[in-house]
């Protein structure tokens, strides 16, 4: 058996594996003799079927099976011996591979292509500059949260006119300068919280509307948050900046809720297991929720910006054509409703490529800086997550349930991978905050949302 390889310029390796008769004949003969011993053919006693007949009947299939097994083993061992850092799985090289006839051929050559990971290095030091945003809690944040909670558990009522903090439902339609709907223009049934409207004059016009009445306004003036505007109009974030038209809103309904009273009934509905007894305790619990949410969003944004920074810094090349072919070949095994075409893949590939790039970068950093995750760490994290839930009973019985559920979760590979990913993000955050130059700055939640919105739009435009 002879194996050769050639590295190409586009991060792939072409591998040729050649078998001659002495490489496989002994295994084929042994397999045929075993088949002869087991064969049950009419007119012959068991184990007495002539070898020639067995070879004629089963020779081609046994040959194919034997060479296939040897081929897989040889390819795997060769890739390991050369220390190739591969992407995906080896694919048959359609350009080089010739037709094979196991019935007549004595010598076989198989040609493969493998995708290779790019070689690179990352040094994490103070030359790498990153921002970390600490979101501050506004004085009225608890008041707003409490009002949202009271409305969530309040009672809905019909009203002729909307109030400033109601939700209105209706149809948004793009119009021209004459106020007529634009043919094939933006049109969507949607709902908006009137508190999102920042322009006082436009909000006042909404408050005057009755059901089935309409008003024409400019959405760019009404809404400051581009993500909200994209959602309301049903357009892409990248299209928001260039959307200059007015829209006509036709009111179809008003969602008005009378806030629930602040009492023990509300306490038990909002925080069932916290045994809250008064408004002060409720406000303290809400504040902890807000602080926890803000910390989580700060960390998530740090990771998002870290990923974008390293993707841009490394600018890794990938064997794109190989990866696309590998994705399509694997996708061909999926159910029909999950299959994608080459055109669909081309549209989605940028996101897939960046995800793969980040996986390669993350793997490199974890290897270089020793960021390992043990099963014990995963178990502890699962236990912490379960501990946030109430199982009832005393501490001993609750812990027993947590231990049982933890063991069950550890058997779920998908859940284990998800939790391992969370732990790795925590380790990466700690590593970069320690070694890189991280500029920590305080920011209000409103400014944070505006900033993130602009960065998301800029990123989508860049793609």
Q: Which two tokens stand for residue 253?
A: 């309904």
Q: What are the Cα distances from residue 188, in Å, to 231, 240, 253? A: 10, 15, 15
Q: What is the pLDDT of residues 394-426, one digit of tens each?
A: 566 667 777 888 888 888 999 999 999 999 999
Write down the H helix ranges in 99-213.
141-152, 200-207
pLDDT digits (tens, 9 = 90+) for 126-145: 999 999 999 999 999 999 99
User: Which strand (E) or helix (H) includes residue 90?
Assistant: strand 86-92
Bridge partners, residue 14, by sequence: 6, 113
**Annotated domain spans of the chain:** 2-116, 155-258, 276-462
Q: Is 182 within 8 Å of 132 (Cβ atoms)?
A: no
Residue 340's pLDDT is what?
87
Q: CA–CA separation, 89 vs 349, rounded Å? A: 18
> Span 2-116: which CATH code?
3.30.70.1050
299-318 pLDDT, tens digit each:
999 999 999 999 999 999 99
Mean pLDDT on 219-235:
88
> How many residues in total does the chain contain?
463
- CA distances to 15, 18, 26, 62, 254 from 75, rounded to whole Å, are 9, 11, 20, 20, 66
Question: Residue 39 in 3-state DSSP?
Answer: coil
In contact, 214 and 250? CB cutoff 8 Å: yes
- pLDDT exceeds 60 at position 219: yes
Per the structure block, which two tokens stand in for 62? Answer: 């046994």
pLDDT number for residue 395: 62
Could you tell me the fold of the domain covering 155-258? Answer: Chitinase A; domain 3 (3.10.50)
State CA 363 to chain mean position distance: 17
Q: Where are the alpha helices (DSSP H) in 119-236?
A: 141-152, 200-207, 219-222, 226-233
Mean pLDDT of 415-443: 95
CB 303, CB 432: distance < 8 Å: no
pLDDT of amino acid 2: 94
Query: Token pair for residue 370?
Result: 């020793």
Burial 405-428 (b: 16+ CB within 10 A, else e): bbeebeeeeeebeebbeebbbebb
Region 189-200: what's the mean pLDDT?
91
pTM (predicted TM-score): 0.80
Secondary structure class of 151 (helix, strand, coil):
helix
Q: Does the pLDDT at position 383 exceed 90?
A: no
Tell me the backbone φ, ψ of residue 263, rounded to 5 degrees. Answer: -150, -175
**Which residues have C-beta within 8 Å of that of residue 419, sequence separation ≥ 6?**
378, 381, 382, 385, 409
Q: Residue 303: name the closest of 425, 422, 417 by CA.
A: 425
DSSP conformation letters of 407-443: HHHHT-HHHHHHHHHHHHHHHHHHHHHHHSEEEEEEE
The rounded distance, in Å, linking the Cα atoms of 371 and 421 is 12
In whole angstroms, give the CA distance from residue 201 to residue 44: 99
* Per-residue pLDDT reduced to its tens digit, 315-357: 999 999 999 999 998 887 777 667 888 899 999 999 999 999 9
Report how far residue 158's alpha carbon sits from residue 160's, in angstroms, rounded to the nearest whole number. 7
Asked whether residue 390 carries a pLDDT value surpassing 70, the answer given is no
Supply 78's token pair: 């060769």
Backbone angles phi, psi at 438, to 5 degrees: -105, 120
Please compute, for residue 417, the number of CA atoms within 13 A of its CA located in the half-sphere on the CB side.
3
């Amino acid at each position: 058996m002879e194996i050769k390889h050639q590295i190409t310029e586009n991060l792939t390796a072409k591998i040729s594996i050649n078998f001659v008769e002495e490489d496989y004949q002994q295994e084929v003969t042994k397999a045929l003799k075993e088949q002869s011993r087991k064969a049950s053919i009419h007119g012959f006693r068991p184990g007495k079927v002539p070898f020639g007949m067995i070879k004629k009947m089963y020779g081609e299939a046994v040959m194919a099976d034997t060479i296939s097994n040897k081929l897989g083993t040889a390819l795997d061992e060769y890739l390991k011996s050369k220390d190739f850092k591969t992407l995906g799985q080896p694919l048959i090289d359609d350009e080089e591979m010739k037709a094979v006839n196991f019935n007549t051929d004595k010598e076989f050559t198989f040609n493969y292509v493998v995708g290779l990971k790019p070689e690179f290095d990352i040094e994490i030091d103070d030359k790498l500059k990153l921002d970390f945003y600490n979101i501050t809690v506004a004085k009225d944040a608890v008041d707003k949260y409490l009002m949202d909670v009271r409305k969530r558990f309040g009672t809905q009522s019909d009203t002729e006119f909307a109030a400033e903090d109601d939700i209105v439902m209706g149809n948004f339609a793009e119009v021209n300068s004459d106020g007529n709907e634009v043919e094939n223009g933006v049109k969507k049934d949607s709902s908006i919280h009137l508190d999102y409207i920042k322009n006082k004059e436009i909000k006042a016009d909404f408050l005057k509307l009755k059901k089935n009445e309409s008003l024409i306004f400019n959405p760019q003036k009404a809404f400051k948050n581009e993500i909200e505007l994209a959602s309301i109009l049903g357009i892409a974030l990248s299209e928001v900046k260039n959307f200059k038209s007015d829209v006509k809103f036709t009111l179809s309904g008003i969602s008005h809720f009378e806030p629930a009273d602040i009492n023990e009934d509300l306490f038990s509905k909002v925080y069932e297991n916290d045994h809250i007894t008064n408004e002060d305790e409720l406000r303290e619990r809400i504040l902890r929720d807000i602080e926890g949410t803000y910390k989580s969003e700060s960390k998530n944004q740090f990771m998002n910006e870290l990923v974008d920074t390293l993707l841009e810094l490394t600018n890794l090349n990938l064997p794109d054509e190989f990866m696309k072919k590998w994705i399509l070949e694997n996708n061909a095994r999926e159910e029909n409703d999950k299959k994608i075409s080459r055109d669909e893949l081309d549209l989605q590939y940028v996101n897939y490529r960046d995800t793969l790039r980040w996986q390669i970068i993350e793997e490199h950093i974890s290897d270089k800086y020793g960021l390992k995750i043990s099963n014990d760490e995963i178990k502890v994290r699962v236990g912490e997550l379960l501990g946030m839930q109430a199982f009832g009973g005393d501490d001993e019985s609750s812990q027993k349930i947590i231990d049982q559920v933890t063991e069950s979760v550890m058997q779920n590979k998908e859940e284990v991978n998800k939790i391992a990913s969370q732990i790795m993000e925590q380790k990466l955050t700690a590593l970069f905050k320690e070694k890189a130059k991280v500029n920590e700055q305080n920011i209000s939640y409103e400014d944070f949302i505006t900033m993130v919105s602009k960065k998301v739009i800029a990123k989508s435009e860049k793609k």
